[in-house]
Amino acid sequence: MLDRITVTGLRARGHHGVFPRERELGQTFVVDVSLGVDTRPAASGDDLAATAHYGVISEEVVAVVTGDPVDLIETLAQRIADQCLSHAAVQEVEVTVHKPDAPITVPFDDVTITIVRSRG
């Protein structure tokens, strides 16, 4: 069973969406990531190199959000998952992308997608 390292509420401005206004003006996206990691090697040796560095991964997640625009938050979530899984210690990742300013014409609190990916 894997341990979990979770970072919630990463905020970044991105230009994702299918509508021209979303692409032009951008909007805030909020991302939560939960990394499935075996933390025993890091804990036994008190060694950062033996685990997932959540500070570095957080910066990389923000870079994905602020990077090349995509139409769908599903695609954005997949790109974030792929980046997280590029770290050797990360065996599984759950990514939730929040789009609180989605272009919906009725009152709402949030739109999210959550995906779970693991090493194939």
Q: Is the dihedral of CA 57, 52, 2, 117 positive or negative?
A: positive
12 strand-pairing partners: 29
Question: Can 99 be counted among the known catalytic residues?
Answer: yes
Candidate list 16, 98, 99, 117, residue with the active-site label: 99
97 strand-pairing partners: 31, 113
H helices within the chain, ranges in order? 20-25, 40-45, 54-66, 73-85
Positions marked catalytic: 99
